[in-house]
Amino acid sequence: MPDTALPANGLEAVLRYNLNTGVKPVNETFGPANMTRRVSGKGDERPVVLHDGRAIRSDLDLEVQGFEFVDQNTKVKSFLDPEELKTVYYQECVDLIKKVSGAVRVHVFDHTLRSGDEGERTEKFLREPVLSVHNDYTEWSGPQRVRDLLPNEAEALIKRRFAIIQVWRSVSDKPLLADPLAIADARSLDMKDLIPAERRYPDRVGETYQIAYNPAHEWYYFPKMLKNEAIVFKVYESKKDGRARFTAHTAFVDPTTPADAPPRQSIEVRTIAFFDEDN
Can you give the pTM of this predicted structure? Answer: 0.94
Each domain of the chain, given as residue ranges in start order, spans 12-278
| Structure confidence at residue 2 (pLDDT) | 34
**pLDDT tens digit string along 147-192?**
999 999 999 999 999 999 999 999 999 999 999 999 999 999 999 9
| Structure confidence at residue 5 (pLDDT) | 42
Strand partners of residue 210: 134, 195
Nearest C-alpha neighbor of 4 from the set 171, 168, 133, 175: 175
Give the chain's residues under pLDDT 50: 1-7
What is the CATH number that goes with domain 12-278?
Answer: 2.60.120
Long-range contacts formed by 97-102: CB under 8 A, 24+ apart? 97/165, 97/167, 97/232, 97/271, 97/273, 98/273, 100/62, 100/68, 100/70, 100/165, 100/232, 101/62, 101/163, 101/165, 101/232, 101/273, 101/275, 102/275
**pLDDT tens digit string along 100-116?**
999 999 999 999 999 99
> Which amino acid belongs to residue 248?
A
